[in-house]
Amino acid sequence: GENVEQHPSTLSVQEGDSAVIKCTYSDSASNYFPWYKQELGKRPQLIIDIRSNVGEKKDQRIAVTLNKTAKHFSLHITETQPEDSAVYFCAALSGAGSYQLTFGKGTKLSVIP
């Protein structure tokens, strides 16, 4: 089955700096890659997603890049703000008839004012 590795597990940045979180996946048939933000005690919420037919997608201060050959994808947050502090999860959905959305272990991002 799919295996998703996520790094780093914790990340501290100064307010205004950029944050980058990286994930790798194992199943070359995976074709959908969402990123979720989870604040303490709350539900995961989708912040951006990318499908395997594109290499990059942006939404204001957030961008995701996908390298299908290397089987890795990254989340980029620019001009970080304290409210960006949360746990971020990457995930991959296999396209080979599976419906499993496999999550990484998460990155705890702390933005220091």
Partner 1 sequence: GAGVSQTPSNKVTEKGKYVELRCDPISGHTALYWYRQSLGQGPEFLIYFQGTGAADDSGLPNDRFFAVRPEGSVSTLKIQRTERGDSAVYLCASSSGKNTEAFFGQGTRLTVV
Residues that bind partner 1 (CB under 8 A): 1, 6, 31-32, 34, 36, 42-46, 49, 51, 89, 91, 93, 98-106
> Residue 45 Cβ, how far from partner 1 at the closest point, in Å?
7
**What tokens were used for 72?**
């890795």
Q: Which is nearer to partner 1, 6 or 24 (CB)?
A: 6
Q: Which is nearer to partner 1, 41 or 113 (CB)?
A: 41
> Does the CA dihedral 27-32-49-1 come out positive or negative?
negative
> Residue 18 Cβ, how far from partner 1 at the closest point, in Å?
23
**What tokens were used for 70?**
């290397």
Cα-based angle 46, 34, 44 (whole degrees, multiple of 5): 35
Cis preceding linkage at 8, omega within 30:
yes
> Residue 112 Cβ, how far from partner 1 at the closest point, in Å?
21
